[in-house]
Chains A and B, each alone.
Chain A
Amino acid sequence: MKRKFNIIESTCVPLNQENVDTDQIIPARFLKATSRDEKFFGDNLFRDWRYFPDGSLNPDFVLNNPAYSGEILVAGKNFGSGSSREHAAWAIAGYGFRVVISSFFADIHRNNELNNFVLPVTVSETFLAELFDSIAQDPGTKVRVDVPAQTVTNLATGRCETFELNGYKKYCLMNALDDIDYLLQNKDAILAYEERRAKT
């Protein structure tokens, strides 16, 4: 799942709903997998919204609407609340999203996305509302996410905002490096820390 980020320009899938929790993103029954199979998790993203209990497709759910596609998921406020399951981030990545735009992300989930090379972009409420409008008017609306510049632009209206991303994570995303790579290079500091603490 490690991949390099630079500039992403894509149409969006709008999920205009607040407080989408991780149980909805990937229901608990799919947590039983013991591997990180992208396809498996991607196939079950929003499982209970995408399918009826009898297994048939729910045509009203946005992921099943052929008008919408793209690498960007646009979601309502407080996205990813609830359980810390990283499976939610695997499902989002596995489905093929590279960016999630919302006005507010739950903490742990935001980290999980970053650790799985999905970029959470926090925008203002105004930006989000306008973006939902643009997409409603034209499903072909594109958004441009410029990682080096840390800007997000609604290409339908031209509205542009900067988003937060610390320098370290930006470096990791742009170079397809993860935190474990960093920590493994840093063993000496850990040993020094342990020694320091043993003395106090």
Chain B
Amino acid sequence: MNTLFDKIWDSHVVTTIEDGPQQLYIDRLYCHEVTTPQAFEGLRERGIRCFRPERIICMPDHNTPTQDQDKPIKNEISRKQVETLERNAREFGLTYYGMMDPSNGIIHVVGPEKGLSLPGMTIVCGDSHTSTHGAVGAVAFGIGTSEVEMALASQCILQEKPKSMRINIEGALGKGVTAKDVALFLMQQLTTSGATGYFIEYAGSVVRCLSMEGRLTLCNLSIEMGARGGFIAPDETTFAYLKGREHAPAGADWDRAVAYWKTLKSGEDAVFDREITFDGSQIEPMITYGTNPGMGMAITESIPLDADPASLEYMDFRAGEKLLGKPIDYVFLGACTNGRIEDFRAFASLARGRQKAASVTAWLVPGSWAVSRQIREEGLDKVLAEAGFEIRQPGCSACLAMNDDKVPAGKYVVSTSNRNFRGRQGPGSRTLLASPLTAAAAAVTGIITDPRALMRDA
């Protein structure tokens, strides 16, 4: 009780149904092309309009190709889904950032970077990684298509209030250890169902010191621990990040907003349904060896002897062996997990002055056009081009391989995305989840490499 989660949630409850869920008011609904067509169809069947169109933002991201976006999408079904979203947005009077629009990108990258996701909000989207937006201090979570339809129709959804959990990560992170490694570590510790039923508040000195990009990565992966979502109380880092963003409040409104946002924290006496504390200095660069994101380990370790045999068979790994030194075929930098500017900076820092290994196919996909522009402004595109890497156009890309970026069967990919499920990155593909630094280390050496070995002292 008296947690920040309670404060935000309770202030959005319209009514509580007796012996049932609560009716929760939604400040922001994001729509992408995959999980919404049936919801709009539902509105049409019922003959109703959107209740609060100004609170709804639509953009395609899952199907968008990462090359030749100026041309029509070749795959007919993908094209149809994207066109359907555009038609729905127009018909229902909603903001739409189409492909090639300078505002387009992966929703979970675009929302925060445009200041559309703000502290204290409730935010939903038909996508499990909506938890990403929790990094700005919002209660953000994924919903199903029926719930998208509810939000379109009434700006509300019916939900049971999740339990609250606080995860404290104290101490400081070591060299080469990123927010992604922290998340992979938490998944390994908690397993993929360890936080089911909970909403997580991340706290502790490690979290406080994370940049906004790092926080977005951490919150993004909350769902992989089974949690409904995860968030971080807003602080100076949050305010500095949001200030001046296109849709963030400005002028006197900004001052008023910040004054309110500063009240958004858990009380000293807050009681969580569950609270756990980890020592951040124990975390090393992580990598997964199996077929769910909880099957991870420090990159220097050996695959646990009790690892799930079926997963190892799929990955063609053996219990007890090390992954260091194993050849890999693909590298994917991107996704709503690690497709932000800081991720490209990290990747470029290791690639600078080195060459992409000839045996590796690398897909570097910015999370949005804004990220893509910044990469160019900072000259990272040149650094990467000199090292033999090419930057593609933004979208979800190989994260779930709905577009053409599919990893072939049997091939290994070191991926900065969030899921290593069988076939996720293409039928038969074998995914090893890791941070952008670890991905870069693999890309320039062609083998799984501890990124710390390649890091130059800054």
Contacts and interface: CB of A to CB of B under 8 A. Distances in A.
Contact of B193 (A104, A193, A194): A104
Interface string B27-61: 00000001101100110001010010000000000
A190 B51 contact: yes
A183 B226 contact: no
Interface stretch (A32-40, A63-71, A128-136, A154-162): A32-40
Interface stretch (B18-26, B167-175, B266-274, B381-389): B18-26
Contact of A184 (B154, B193, B197): B154
A189 interface: yes
A168 B20 contact: yes
B154 A186 contact: yes
Nearest to A169: B20
Nearest to B43: A180
A107 interface: yes
Contacts of B98: none
Contact of B21 (A82, A83, A168, A190): A168
Nearest to A168: B20
Contacts of B81: 32, 34
B14 A189 contact: yes
Contacts of B243: none
Given A81-B226, A84-B126, A31 B143 contact: no
A189 B401 CA distance: 42
B34 A187 contact: no
Interface in A1-45: 19, 21, 23-24, 27-29, 31-36
Given A21-B421, A115-B147, A190 B155 contact: yes
B144 A184 contact: no
B79 to A, nearest CB: 10
B423 A106 contact: no
B422 interface: yes
Interface string B401-442: 110000000000000000101111001000000000000000
B264 to A, nearest CB: 14
A116 B423 contact: no
B156 A23 contact: no
B141 to A, nearest CB: 8
A116 B146 contact: yes
A24 B423 CA distance: 9
Contacts of A81: 192-193, 226, 292
B158 interface: yes
Given A21-B421, A180-B146, A183-B158, A28 B21 contact: no
A55 interface: no
Given A115-B146, A183-B153, A190-B154, A36 B41 contact: yes
A49 to B, nearest CB: 10
A64 B236 CA distance: 58
A146 interface: no
B211 interface: no
Interface of B: 11, 14-15, 17-21, 23, 25, 34-35, 37-38, 41-42, 46, 48, 51, 62-63, 77-78, 80-81, 84, 126-128, 142-147, 149-150, 153-158, 160, 162, 192-193, 196-197, 226, 228, 292, 400-402, 419, 421-424, 427
Interface of A: 19, 21, 23-24, 27-29, 31-36, 48, 53, 78, 81-87, 89, 104, 106-108, 111-112, 115-116, 166-169, 178-180, 182-184, 186-187, 189-190, 193-194, 197
